[in-house]
Amino acid sequence: MDVKFAKPKSFYEIYERKPGANKEGIHYCPGCGHGIIHKMIAEAVQDLEIQDRTVVISPVGCSVFAYYYFDTGNIQSAHGRAPAVGTGVKRTHPDSIVISYQGDGDLAAIGTAEIVHAANRGEQMTVIFVNNAIYGMTGGQMAPTTLEGQRTTTTPYGRKKENEGQPVRVAELIDALEAPVYVERTTLSDVKGRTRTRKAIRKALKYQSENRGFSLVEVLSSCPTGWGVTPVDANQWIREKMEAVFPVGLLRDRAADIEARPLEPRPFVRENLHQLLEIPEPGTGDAQAAAAQGAGEMQHVDERYRNPRIKVAGFGGQGILFLGLGIASTGMELGYQVSWLPSYGPEMRGGTANCSVRVSSDLIGSPIVAETDILVAFNKPSLAKFEPDVRAGGVVFYDSSLIDASPQRDDIEAVSVPATQLADELGNTKAANMVMFGAIAEKTGLFSLEEVRQHLGGYIKKKKLIPLNERAIERGATYVREGA
């Protein structure tokens, strides 16, 4: 038997997935280009010996059933999303060979974003783009590549550039990007074109197997059914009409500039995972557990400041959120329930920042502090905005070096601390928030100064800043104690 024309091994011998009685023929119409392109891909996969690691992505369109035929891994994807799906496969298995097989509606209309960005990332995949200037599967509607004047079921009077725009030249579009290694447009309209197409597909797959990057081969292909012509006339139409709009030829081959590179191994890391994730490692936490045992009902704290609902507010950059975090983090280390909630999003852009902090011996319900026991204000607008929320008998700490007014209400306690000025005297304006922390601790007794100092390392990442912060805390406490 003559084996010269044997079916490539990367096609199934029998198409078991194909419904109906005929398990050996293909589902494409006579004269359609898909079958030819499939065969070229299958031969290349076989010859490059990549069958066991190839994953073909079937798009939406007539080639939605490509998985009937390819004896490779197969994924069927949503309309236009094949390059994104391929990205997911390739990033999971960098040693796989991903073929994104797409038609013109799929790639150049609904999937425009996916193809452009996969190409722009230089995603290591091969895109075979079948351009037949029409939506075949849905019954002959206009494609982004439909020619001007071409009649389709949705351009019954012919495509007009004033209404539908002009055909999208995909190969040129992709060639405008930096990353792709190889872009070529070929045609199936004659023997020369088919030879060229066969070579282009092999080259694109070879480049992927060498990890040289993203390739796209645009193939001008016929759809006699959709066009309403014979297969012979269809080829003539490609030659005369399509090739005039979509010039055939090599747009880019940068393989010579890109070294074939071996894959970087990406091992699944599970050793020291807690350390890498910066979370407590197994076997730690006895100190906290002991603290939790002793935390009790906060009996040592004056009743006015027990289980406080705290609001810290000021300008962005004043360390507002950080002071809140410091209070919450210290509370946690001492075994209390704590919560911290920032104002987030656009609210932050206006230059004001605030956070709600709760420290409690009981489970915390809402992390939002509306009625406030302790307000810490670092600028005038914050004092004005949040003073009304302070409960009768609550306390307001305010930075008197920046706020030239005192709280208006007489049913609350006001503690003026020139935190910014004191921080300046310590040599760093940014320590104003920690000056205030010292003042809060001294005044309320919520934490002792020693407890605040002891747990600084829990939330200050730069250890060299700890001495400055210790001085700031001490200074704030002294100010409250001695009034200067």
Partner 1 sequence: MARVILKGNDAVVRGAILAGCRVYFGYPITPASEIAETAAYYMPLVGGVFLQAESEVAAINMVYGAAGAGARAMTASSGPGISLKMEGVSYIAGAELPCVIVSIGRGGPGLGNIAPEQGDYHQVVWGGGHGNYRNIVLAPNSVQEMADHGILAFALADRYRNPVFILTDGAIGQMMEPVEFPETVVTPPEKEWAVGVGAARRPNLISSILLDPDELEAHVAKLEEKYTRIVEQEVRAEAYELEDAELVVVAFGIVSRVARSAIEVLRKEGCKVGMLRPITLWPFPEPQLRELAAQERVQRFLTIEMSNGQMVRDVRLAVEGRKPVEFYGRTGGNIPTEVELIEQIRCQTEA
| Chain residues 28-57 in contact with partner 1, contact rule CB under 8 A | 51-53, 55
Length of the chain as a residue count = 484
For residue 366, give the nearest of 390, 341, 348, 344 by alpha carbon.
341
Q: Between 8 and 167, whose beta carbon lies closer to partner 1?
A: 8
Distance CA 457, CA 466 (A): 7
Helices marked H in 365-465 — which ranges?
380-386, 419-425, 432-444, 449-454
Establish if 280 lies at the interface with partner 1 (CB under 8 A).
yes
Establish if 190 lies at the interface with partner 1 (CB under 8 A).
no
Query: By CB under 8 A, what part of segment 416-475 binds partner 1?
Result: 458-459
CB atoms within 10 A of CB 247: 13
CB atoms within 10 A of CB 70: 23
Establish if 302 lies at the interface with partner 1 (CB under 8 A).
no
Q: Least distance in Å: CB of 435 to partner 1? A: 22
Q: Between 329 and 401, whose beta carbon lies closer to partner 1?
A: 329
Q: Between 116 and 258, whose beta carbon lies closer to partner 1?
A: 116
Distance CA 234, CA 222 (A): 6
Q: Between 156 and 365, whose beta carbon lies closer to partner 1?
A: 365
Query: By CB under 8 A, what part of segment 349-378 binds partner 1?
Result: 363-368, 370-371
Q: Between 224 and 326, whose beta carbon lies closer to partner 1?
A: 326
Q: Between 355 and 403, whose beta carbon lies closer to partner 1?
A: 355
For residue 375, give the nearest of 308, 434, 472, 474 by alpha carbon.
308
Asked if residue 186 lies in contact with residue 219, where contact means CB atoms within 8 angstroms, the answer is: yes
Establish if 277 lies at the interface with partner 1 (CB under 8 A).
yes
Asked if residue 386 lies in contact with residue 365, where contact means CB atoms within 8 angstroms, the answer is: no
Q: Between 255 and 348, whose beta carbon lies closer to partner 1?
A: 348
Q: Least distance in Å: CB of 297 to partner 1? A: 15
Tokens of 359: 């420290």
- The footprint of partner 1 on this chain (CB under 8 A) covers a number of residues equal to 76
Tokens of 96: 């796989």
Establish if 346 lies at the interface with partner 1 (CB under 8 A).
yes
Establish if 323 lies at the interface with partner 1 (CB under 8 A).
no
User: Angle formed by the axes of helices 34-47 and 191-209, to 10°?
Assistant: 40
Query: By CB under 8 A, what part of segment 168-187 binds partner 1?
Result: none
Query: By CB under 8 A, what part of segment 371-410 binds partner 1?
Result: 371
Span interacting with partner 1, options 130-138, 146-154, 329-337, 383-391, rule CB under 8 A: 329-337
Which distant-in-sequence residues (6+ apart) come within 8 Å of 462 by Cβ?
none
Measured over all CA atoms, what is the biggest interatomic distance in the chain, rounded to whole angstroms?
106
Residue type, 112: T
Query: By CB under 8 A, what part of segment 111-150 binds partner 1?
Result: 113-114, 116-117
* Position among 137, 341, 384, 449 found at the interface with partner 1 (CB under 8 A): 341
Tokens of 36: 């030819």
Binding flags for partner 1, 51-90, as an x/- string (CB under 8 A)? xxx-x--x-----x--x---xxxxxxxx--x--xxxxxxx
